[in-house]
Every structure is written in structure tokens, then in C-alpha cells.
Amino acid sequence: MVDWDDYVGRFEAVQDVEIRPRISGTVESVNFREGVEVAKGQVLFTIDPRPYRAAAEQARADLAKVQAALTNARTELARARKLVDAQAISREEFETKEANLRSAVAAAGAARANLEAKALDLSFTTIRSPITGRISDKRVSIGTYVSAGETALTRVVSVNPIRFAFEGAETFYLKYVRQAQTGERESSRYAPNPVDIKLADESSYRWHGLMKFVDNAIDRNSGTIRAFAEVDNPTGFLVPGMFGRARLLGSGTYSALLVPDEAIVTDQTRRFVYVIGRDGKTVQRNVETGPLVEGLRVIKTGLTASEKVVLDGLARLQPGMDVDAKVIPLKPRAAADSPASTAIRAPAAAEATAK
């Protein structure tokens, strides 16, 4: 047997980007269809580039001006070096020429950096998708003035792979830590333990993922710890915010017996079954139960494979009673996809029209 622990959670995008402009200006064009997939680098919006193009041209002209001044400063310094060697100019005048050259070099560097900044601003007038994913609707229209870093333009979320995020109780976390210490089950913090997921309208675990993250602290208010798994979603069927029920690997492999639930008697906190002893009389066996598997209850401890469990007439039994036993075989009562849950159904249509 392998135990699975049941969790409820929702799907989240691995990458979730809100698109905002890096410069201010008027929206000139919207270049995507809303609600569909977009590729990384695809053009989404264009902001009027004319002011930024003019600023870039001005910066380019300023750079040419200071480069001309730099060339002149180099020429004057070369001439002054010959004159100072011939003692035709003073040392002070020569040092002034050197200072002029250093100032021209610095001015050229500043002008070059200013041109790069203006060119960068010009490039920001074309807004591209930073990731591959599915885009939302446009939040602005053509002609809208947008502010740098403030106006939300749209949102892009990645769809493949997708995360399934959930929270687990502290008791589960402690169980997993103990299992990792004994070597029964590796911790999901370090090992990609399997996770099976079914959606709200599904009766079986169709989706399969692997654990990727366990948080570093337990929430003081809820007593739970966050975690998520990653699930392949090549068709984009799963979308962020979708509800799901998951089962996470909860144990290592162990051997156990299966009996029907009706064979187990509960006496306050004690659970036991009746078995037929060698003398043909009933004997109580305290048992430790586990989850349901194929419609039968797992018995972890308390029984051996050779013992015969009483299934009927339990209300009349007492320990040590003689019974007339008839042996019957047990068969699975349900599919092996527990834990069970009832799938929801979509509501009926409100009306119909004939065609």
C-alpha cells in the first residue's frame, strides 16, 4: 500500500506579469487580440514615439558637438606640446590645454550616456510581452495618456507549466518530517514527490505533477504551511484560479490487509474486529486502520494474513462465542482512485432556441 493525503487548492501561474509603461505618453496602437496566447517579445502596445525620437536626435546632435570639441581639444594640446618644448608658451598655458582636453573627454562621455538614455526611452515606446503566456484584456484604449510605472496596460500569465498551490496542516508537516528522518518517505522540500489532481467536475485524478516548493515557516494564524506542485499544461486547459482536489504521496510502501468497513467495531477511541480462533470461537483483535482502498479499509496493524475476519452478525457477537463460519472471498468495491469526492455538475441551461 501507499498512502495519499488529500488537499484542496487552486492553480496559479508560474509567471504573472502586470504590464506597465516605462515612459509616459499617448497610446498610439494596441497590437494584440485579447485573451489569447502571446509570445515573448511580441509587440503589445505602441506609445507615440515622436517626442522621444526628437529627444534622441537632440542627444545625438549634442554628442556630435562635444565630439567636435574633443577633437579640437586634442589638436590644441598636440600643438601646445610642441610649443612648450620650444618654450614658446608658458607651462601654465600648456596645463590649461590639458585640462580642456580632460573636460572635453568627460563631456563626450556624458553626451554619449545621454544619447543611450534617450535611445532607451525611444525603445520603451514599443511595449513587448516579457514572457510567453496568455494575455488579458487591454486596460487602456488608443489615445489614452499613460504614466510611467503607474498605468496598468494589461496582464500576461504563463500557462505551461502551471502551479497547483495548497496549504497543509502542521500535523501533516510533522508526519512528513518524521518520515524523512526514518527514510520512509523523502521530504517534498528536496524530492519531487508525485501529486495527482482532479478538477471540480472530474471523478478521477487526471492531472499529474511533482512537488516543487514547501515554505520555510508555518503561518501563526492558520497553523498551515504553503506548498505547490508543478503540472504540465501543454494545451492550456488549466488556468490560474481554477479549483482542484489533490492527493500527495503520504507514505512509503507498506504491506496491509483490506477489510470492509462494516467489519470494524468502534468502542470510543478503540477499533477492533472479530476473528475466528483455532478453536472456532470469536476473538477480538485491536487494529490500526488507514484509508479506503478500492472500497475496503486498510488495516495497518493487528491482523495477520491467515486470520478469518467476521463480517456479519457483529451486533450479537461476544468474545469467546462459538460461531458457524462460512468463508467468502472479498473483491474490490470501488475504483482505486481514493480519496473519494463527488464531482460537481454544471447547472442546466436557462433556455434554448430552435434552429
Give me the chain's average pLDDT, please: 89
CB half-sphere exposure, 93, CA atoms < 13 A = 13
Q: Give domain status of residue 35, yes or no.
A: yes
Same domain? For 79 and 96 the reply is yes
Instruction: Say which residue the cell 529627444 belongs to.
Output: 55
Q: Give domain status of residue 338, yes or no.
A: no
Same domain? For 59 and 120 the reply is yes
CATH code (residue 235): 2.40.30.170
Same domain? For 261 and 249 the reply is no
Cβ atoms of 238 and 231 within 8 Å: the answer is yes
Q: Is the pLDDT of residue 352 over 80?
A: no
Same domain? For 46 and 145 the reply is yes
What Cα–Cα distance (Å) separates residue 14 from each residue in 4, 116, 225, 228, 238? 25, 33, 19, 10, 12
Q: Phi and psi dihedrals of 128, rounded to 5?
A: -115, 155
Same domain? For 273 and 243 the reply is no
Last residue of one domain, picked from the residues 253, 269, 285: 253
Q: Phi and psi dihedrals of 319, rounded to 5?
A: -60, 140
Sequence-ordered list of residues with C-beta below 8 angstroms from that of 178, at least 6 positions apart, any chain: none
Last residue of one domain, picked from the residues 134, 155, 176: 155
- Domain span including residue 289: 257-316
pLDDT for the residue numbered 88: 77
Q: How many domains does the chain have?
A: 3
Same domain? For 233 and 116 the reply is no
Last residue of one domain, picked from the residues 132, 155, 178: 155
The residue-averaged pLDDT of 17-29 equals 96
pLDDT for the residue numbered 353: 64
Set of cell numbers at residue 256: 496491509
The three-class DSSP label of residue 258 is strand
Number of helices (H), then strands (E), belonging to the chain: the values are 3, 20
Render pLDDT for 109-122 as a digit per residue (tens, 0 to 9).
Answer: 999 999 999 999 99
pLDDT for the residue numbered 98: 85
CATH code (residue 261): 2.40.420.20
Same domain? For 25 and 128 the reply is yes
Widest pairwise Cα distance in the chain: 134
pLDDT for the residue numbered 344: 61
The residue-averaged pLDDT of 196-220 equals 93
Same domain? For 80 and 141 the reply is yes
Same domain? For 70 and 102 the reply is yes
Segment (H or E) for 209 = strand 207-214
Q: Give domain status of residue 233, yes or no.
A: yes
Same domain? For 179 and 291 the reply is no
